[in-house]
Amino acid sequence: LAGGSLECAPGMTVRFIRNDKGESPSELPSTYPMLVDELDVGDRVMLADGTVSLKVIRKVADFAECEVVQPGTIRSRQGINLPGVKLRVAALTDADREVVAWAIQRDIDFLSLSFVRSPDDIVELRSLVSKASIPPAIIAKIEKPEALERLEQIVAESDGVMVARGDLGVEVDIAEVPVIQKRIVQLANRLRKPVIVATQMLDSMQNSRLPTRAEVTDVANAILDGADACMLSGETAIGKHPLESVQMMHRIAMAIEVTMGCPRIESAGLQCRQDNSITEAAVKHAGTMAAELGAKMLITVSRSGLTTLIIAKHRFPVLTVGLSQSLPALRRMTLYWGIVPVQGAPVDDPKQLLEFVIAWARRESLVHSGDRVVLLFGTGTAPSAHNSIAVHVVD
């Protein structure tokens, strides 16, 4: 935008133009060159996560003129939504491919794809990142109606999903967003995929030092429903209180998570896939054993991180430490619910590994003499190539 931002008043007219830059504040450029071609008279255009609504009233070769229906402030680099319009744009643009190449060179851990419409979009992105020595994990942002039609295939093809409520609430009826959110979270947990809930979680903290009670409840319910992570956006990107926003979300999460092992407050919909594998059985027994023995810590050793992810999806009420020889696997564990990844453990030597973790836990005041800890070794890790469980009492 010419001035960086624009206050849109009711009845005001603005124009979407083909140029990269507008000459006046009311001329709106777009990085999508086909935008004017996609629009027709009568179409709705939503800006700023749906807070500003426009209606196309005239279209000529070089611009589409719109009238402001719902007023508000728009800013440069904000998203544009066209509810009900089947866009011709590919999921991966040339600009996206450049970003992927940049990300691969810098060993990015997670790469999210916006406006996913089918599992083919994920397959295409995976073919690009597969060129990396250590490909980043792919997070599918669910924000289009088409994605909801093929949700299970998209989640299965991805390494994780994000409930992108901002654009989702513009593309579908906003009243349906809570149910859609629960559906996505439940499916992701069933398919053992990390799931992030995002957008407007503590939105009022962009201007206020305290959130509303409704926002606090929103964050809490996302955690109780089974989200692995809650994400801030505008609160930390452009808000006046970014640090306080992070501290508040952390405070809410800490208060809620201590209740999740309580019989009176059960997490909803956490139905993890049961595939009758040896790893699944080992995880269930290790977690159950840790809970029944009152263990202070569950230590999981995993080559790829899969065993650790399965543990996270079971939501055992025990502090879980994730160990691996693979630094990328450890970094991915930061997204898994309840997992504390610790780097540097000598995973090939069970005795040294245990000494290393116990020493770390003592420094963090997590264990004391007489406490019990449970160790779970995944396939391909010491002390054998098989899954194994051990119980240790801290000296």
| H or E stretch at 257 | helix 242-257
178 and 43 in a common domain: no
User: Do 229 and 287 fall within a single domain?
Assistant: no
The predicted structure's pLDDT at residue 276: 60
User: Distances from the Cα of 227 to the Cαs of 131, 146, 198, 250, 270, in angstroms?
Assistant: 30, 22, 10, 14, 10
pLDDT of the residue at 255: 95
Which pLDDT score, from 0 to 100, does residue 90 have? 80
Q: Per-residue pLDDT averaged across 249-254, rounded?
A: 97
Task: Give me the pLDDT at residue 384, please.
Answer: 57
Sequence-separated (6 or more) residues with CB below 8 Å from residue 384: 377
| pLDDT for the residue numbered 263 | 43
Domain annotation covers residue 263: no
pLDDT of residue 386: 66
When pLDDT is averaged across residues 168-193 and rounded to a whole number, the result is 94
Is 374 in contact with 295 (CB distance < 8 Å)?
A: yes
On whether both 98 and 230 belong to a single domain, the answer is: yes
The reply to whether 386 falls in a domain is yes
Residue 204 lies in a domain: yes
Residue 366 lies in a domain: yes
pLDDT band at 193 (very low <50, low <70, confident <90, very high): very high
pLDDT at 258: 84
Range of the domain at 77: 5-81
Q: Which of 45-54, 258-267, 294-303, 323-332 has the lowest mean pLDDT?
A: 258-267
Out of 48-52, 61-65, 147-151, 164-168, least confident range? 48-52
Asked if the model's pLDDT at residue 200 lies above 50, the reply is yes
Element at 113 (helix H, strand E):
strand 110-113
Q: Which of 52, 81, 110 is the last residue of a domain?
A: 81
Check whether residue 318 and residue 244 sit in a common domain.
Answer: no
The predicted pLDDT at position 381 comes to 64
Token code pair at residue 144: 């289009």
Do 382 and 301 sit in the same domain of this protein? yes
Q: Determine the pLDDT at residue 383.
A: 59
User: In terms of domains, do 127 and 219 share one?
Assistant: yes
Residues 167 and 290 in one domain: no
pLDDT > 70? residue 329? yes
Q: Are residues 150 and 220 in the same domain?
A: yes
- Pick the range with the lowest mean pLDDT from 46-55, 62-71, 150-159, 198-207: 46-55
Mean pLDDT of 98-122: 94
Element (H, E) at 8: strand 5-8
Residue 389 placed within a domain:
yes
CATH of the domain at 11: 2.40.33.10
Q: What is the pLDDT of residue 25?
A: 86
Count structural domains, the chain.
Answer: 3
Q: What's the CATH number where 125 sits?
A: 3.20.20.60
Using a pLDDT cut of 90, give the percent of the chain over it: 70
Please indicate, yes or no, if residue 267 is contained in any of the structural domains: no
Output the average pLDDT for the chain.
Answer: 90
| 109 and 243 both lie in a single domain | yes
| pLDDT per residue as tens digits for the range 5-27 | 899 999 999 999 998 787 888 99
Banded model confidence at residue 72, pLDDT cuts 50, 70, 90: very high
Lowest mean pLDDT, pick from 65-74, 114-123, 130-139, 263-272: 263-272
pLDDT of residue 272: 56
Same domain, 69 and 98: no
Q: Is the pLDDT of residue 217 over 70?
A: yes
Residue 46's pLDDT is 92
Write down the residue that tokens 């997490």 correspond to.
267
Report the pLDDT value the prediction gives residue 31, as an integer from 0 to 100.
84
State the amino acid at position 153 in one-letter form. Q
The pLDDT tens digits of the residues spanning 86-107 come to 888 787 888 899 999 999 999 9
End residue of a domain, out of 257, 290, 324:
257
Q: Specify if 270 maps to a domain.
A: no
Q: Looking at the structure, tell me whether residues 117 and 240 fall in a common domain.
A: yes
Contact at 8 Å (CB) between 190 and 271?
A: yes
Taking residues 363-386, report their average pLDDT: 82
Cis peptide before 383 (omega within 30 of 0): yes
- Would you place residue 156 in the very low, low, confident or very high pLDDT band (cuts 50, 70, 90)? very high
Cβ(307)–Cβ(381) below 8 Å:
no
- Asked if 170 and 113 sit in the same domain, the reply is yes
Q: Which residues pair with 323 in a beta bridge?
A: 301
Torsions phi, psi for 75 (to 5 deg): -130, 160
Looking at 46, 81, 116, which one is the last position of a domain?
81
pLDDT greater than 70 at residue 266: no
Mean pLDDT computed over 288-302: 93
In a domain, 266, yes or no: no
Q: Which residues pair with 65 in a beta bridge?
A: 15, 58
